Structure 1
Amino acid sequence: MTTDTNTLPLVAGEDPAVLAAGAPDWLAALRRAAIARYDAIGLPGPRTEAWKFTGLNAVKALTPVPAEGVPATELPPAVAALDGPRIEIVNGRLSALPAMPTGVEVVALDDPAAAPEWVRAHLGSIASFETHPFTALNTAQLAGGVAVRIARGAMPEAPIVLSVAQAGGGETATIAHPRVLVVVEEGGSADLVTVFQGSGRYIANPVTEIAVAEGARLGHAVLQAEDAEAFHVSMTALKLAEKSTYDGFVLATGSKLARHEVRAELDGEHIEYAINGVYLGADGQHHDITTFIDHARPHGTSHEMVKGVLTGTARGVFQGKILVRPDAQKTDGFQMNRALLLSRDAEVNSKPELEIYADDVKCSHGATVGELEDDELFYLMARGIPRGRARALLVEAYVQEAIALIGRAPVRDAFAAVASEWLDRHVAGVSGSGE
């Protein structure tokens, strides 16, 4: 793999000894390794295969400063209406922590050296930075965020909402590196809703590590609704144990440029894993959803459905790979990417992949790109529905097919409302003739 040597000025050249000063040996070693790796590989360039569809020139041109100030933290009304506790991270650090249900422990990562044993056992062990420079950058700067533990057998009823907000700048962009660790112990079950948002011009570089133990379950819905001038590059890395379940979903509506990378290691038998999503792009936005599913043991199932809607000059990218290792017999893997283009100037790149080394598996993948059907539009318009509204209704039905895959009804309804509001703004009011 060929990489560029460009780095963000905020970190490049800093003395690792300064970053690690006062830290315990395990944390100092982690930070030193991360900054050394970051300086060695730099940011991806056009010849980096995993990034060839998502250029970073606009990011590399920035000289960001640490995020400060008070960003917009008001959640979308549908998400704010969810019952359950709301944890707030502002500019990379824990800002608000309400009382938690029985069996749920939350600790700040502002001082990782003081973290309990369960944090030290997992932090930095799931999200690799060997070939991921933004993860290396986050790890080198590890000094803020939150860790959540769902205790053995605990089953909180309401979703836990995690708001991650950042204050941007005007001429000068800001940068923050929030870190999130989620540990679901044996037999535990919980739902987490993560919302990324902010105001102004900034780079958000969050990393989320998730460990789901034997027989445990996590539903995890992510809403990326960053500011229109923001750059969002996130990594979610998971390790799942035997008979565990992960039900993941990403809804991306914000940012000037956003990349969501989700990497899952299915390291046990009878694991059920799902990562579905929708990206909605307009006004020159760039959305990238990149996934990697590693089936390492037998009898695992994975389901992936990612849909995109693009209008104006928006661009979408989907890259998904399913790896089935030799021991992973009886794997059942499904991957599908579909994109709907509402403009002649919109563009999508899709790259679904299967890499299979076992001979008794059932795996499929595919990709489709299309436009709205004229006969469907005509059917609705013939019944008195204006063209713009008819388009929105058809697109909404297309999007809701994916959102319907969210397991928890309250979360599903909240995300459906967010998507519907976006469609009302960007689709219903556009005629669609010769965009």
Structure 2
Amino acid sequence: MAAIATLKDLYETLSPGLPGVGAAGLDRLRADGYARFLAEGVPTPKVEGWKYTNLRDLAGISLAPARSAANSDGAPSAWDLPSVAPGKTHRLVFVDGVFNAALSAVGPLPEGVALDSLRGLIDASPAYAAEVLDRFPAPKADSGLRVGPNPGRGQTQGLVALNGAFLAEGAVLTVGEGVNLAQPVEVVFVATAADGTWHPRLLIDVAPGARVTVAEHHVSRGGGATFANIVTAIRVGEGATLRHAKFQEEAETALHLASITATVAASATYETFVLTTGARLARTDVQVRLEGSNASTRVSGAYGVDGNRHADFTSLIDHVSPNCTSREVVKGVIDGHGRAVFQGKIIVRPDAQKTDGHQLNRALLLSDTAEIDAKPELEIYADDVKCSHGATAGELDEDALFYLRARGIPADTARALLIAAFLDEVAEEIGDPALRAHATSRIQDRIGRLTGITVDAADLAVEE
């Protein structure tokens, strides 16, 4: 309750100064978010969907807006900001949650494509910004097919509401009908503050027949105990394709909570990949709703945690229409006292005949104190379907280690190669070559930090 009381004070203090105040649509969105947060609160382990992830760390983080630690005498120019294709992307950069035009670079865009900061959109036309926000899906607490006093998974409802209460910044991408945007779009969030909070909103609207690739990066440059509460809302129109990746590499003192909600129309494709290698506690909720026939989604993720860090990947894939396909592969490596959570649910609704849905979660435990909590679920209400799910956890394969050692490879190098091969399989799920190459590079970097051994992509062939 102390956190809620603090947020009440913050809301009353900050809300009059948020952009677009006085515009009825934005005022309503924020007031609704504030009211829903007061009703929902911060999720606790008593909620089924948060049974394995405790947000007690919020008590030690300032909920006030972050004060940027970046100075004006050249520090930002020295940053090596991540990119999936350096110099060949359209990029928006946010420092401690605030849009930074000097670090951003948006080139000429084809007709029908718009890329703006949310604050810029609000400043230009608050009424239009509210209209754009209203177009996008909101996360659902549950499938709506079960009854009971607490049927929901508790997927970020209170946190999404909190994001709405302080709605001010973020990115808005619109891709017009039939447009193939060749250059990827990148949204980079850089943490420099010692503490503080930001609540960005990312909106991606891909019209029928369009194609686009989007990469999110979350990194720290001297950042401390910050709290990022991110909401991403996506619409993929009929016959369109969106490839979306999120790379979370913030400081190990940060708290990172994110919600991704996507609706996918008929014959459309949505692919998403989430890499978690930073933050002391990180959770990403992914909800994909396959609304039109022949829609498809591929949801994949990888993580590497050690020390006392915690990574949570929770997903809900909702098959609403017939002849839809979903594939989910999530794999992770856990060392030290690290803990990981996988909660994956596939729902097949009564009208979703001829569904093809598959889910796989695998975890590699590198220490006796590492922990994984896995909860794969299928909820099927149709009879003509092909669905499967599975979850495994184990140690490195001793036979494979022996095979590599017998060929003269040192023990530490052999161990690093096997870990790399284990995670590299997830990167292969990524359809976009630039995203796949970047993901492989970041996985190799994380393995190097976990094992002290540098692994090159070419070395992975040794295992074959």
Q: Deviations over 1:186-208 (max 9, x none)?
A: 11100011101122110011111
Map 1:8-157 → 2, pairs under 5 A: 8=4, 10-13=6-9, 14-15=11-12, 18=16, 22-70=21-69, 74=79, 79=84, 81=86, 83-96=88-101, 97=104, 98-103=106-111, 104-110=113-119, 112=122, 114=125, 117=128, 120-123=131-134, 125-128=136-139, 132-157=157-182
Q: Deviations over 1:5-63 (max 9, x none)?
A: 56355523534974788332222111111101101121111211111101111113433
SS class of match (2:131): helix
User: What is the deviation of 1:129?
Assistant: 7.6
> For residues 101 and 17 of structure 1, do their structure 2 counterparts lie closer, same or farther at Cα, with a shift above 3 Å needed?
closer
Map 1:206-285 → 2, pairs under 5 A: 206-285=230-309
Q: Deviations over 1:258-304 (max 9, x none)?
A: 00011111111110111101011112210000001111111111100
Q: Deviations over 1:225-283 (max 9, x none)?
A: 01111000001111111111001101110000000011111111110111101011112
Q: Distance in 2 between matches of 1:133 and 1:124?
A: 20
Percent identical across equivalent pairs?
Answer: 38
Map 1:244-393 → 2, pairs under 5 A: 244-393=268-417
> For residues 319 and 234 of structure 1, do their structure 2 counterparts lie closer, same or farther at Cα, with a shift above 3 Å needed?
same
Considering only aligned residues, what root-mean-square deviation do their CA atoms show, in Å?
Answer: 2.3
**2:208–2:237 Cα contact (<8 Å) kept:** yes
Q: Distance in 2 between matches of 1:168 and 1:121?
A: 30
Q: Distance in 2 between matches of 1:285 and 1:359?
A: 41
Q: Distance in 2 between matches of 1:129 and 1:10?
A: 27
**1:203–1:232 Cα contact (<8 Å) kept:** yes
Q: Bigger CA drift: 90-99 or 200-209?
A: 90-99
**Unaligned 5+ runs, structure 2:** 142-153, 455-464
Structure (1/2) with the larger helix percentage: 2
Q: What is residue 408 of structure 1 aligned with on the other side? A: 432
**1:82–1:411 Cα contact (<8 Å) kept:** no
SS class of match (2:391): strand
**2:83–2:186 Cα contact (<8 Å) kept:** no
**Unaligned 5+ runs, structure 1:** 431-435
Q: Distance in 1 between matches of 2:191 and 2:172?
A: 19
Q: Which amino acid aligns with 2:213?
A: D
**1:335–1:365 Cα contact (<8 Å) kept:** yes
Q: What is residue 203 of structure 2 aligned with on the other side? A: 181
Q: Which amino acid aligns with 1:102?
A: P
SS class of match (2:323): coil
Q: Distance in 1 between matches of 2:69 and 2:99?
A: 13
Q: What is residue 433 of structure 1 aligned with on the other side? A: none
**2:15–2:166 Cα contact (<8 Å) kept:** no
Q: Distance in 1 between matches of 2:239 and 2:80?
A: 32
> For residues 264 and 129 of structure 1, do their structure 2 counterparts lie closer, same or farther at Cα, with a shift above 3 Å needed?
closer
Q: Distance in 2 between matches of 1:407 and 1:119?
A: 33
Q: Distance in 1 between matches of 2:17 and 2:140?
A: 17
Q: Bigger CA drift: 37-46 or 54-63?
A: 54-63
User: What is the deviation of 1:409?
Assistant: 1.2
Q: Distance in 2 between matches of 1:127 and 1:82?
A: 34
User: What is the deviation of 1:305?
Assistant: 0.2
**2:305–2:338 Cα contact (<8 Å) kept:** yes
If the length of structure 1 is used for normalisation, what is the TM-score? 0.91
> For residues 37 and 118 of structure 1, do their structure 2 counterparts lie closer, same or farther at Cα, with a shift above 3 Å needed?
closer
Q: Distance in 2 between matches of 1:28 and 1:117?
A: 13
Q: Distance in 1 between matches of 2:198 and 2:374?
A: 29
Q: Which amino acid aligns with 1:149?
A: T
> For residues 100 and 293 of structure 1, do their structure 2 counterparts lie closer, same or farther at Cα, with a shift above 3 Å needed?
farther
Q: Bigger CA drift: 384-393 or 110-119?
A: 110-119
Aligned residues between the structures: 423
**1:174–1:201 Cα contact (<8 Å) kept:** yes
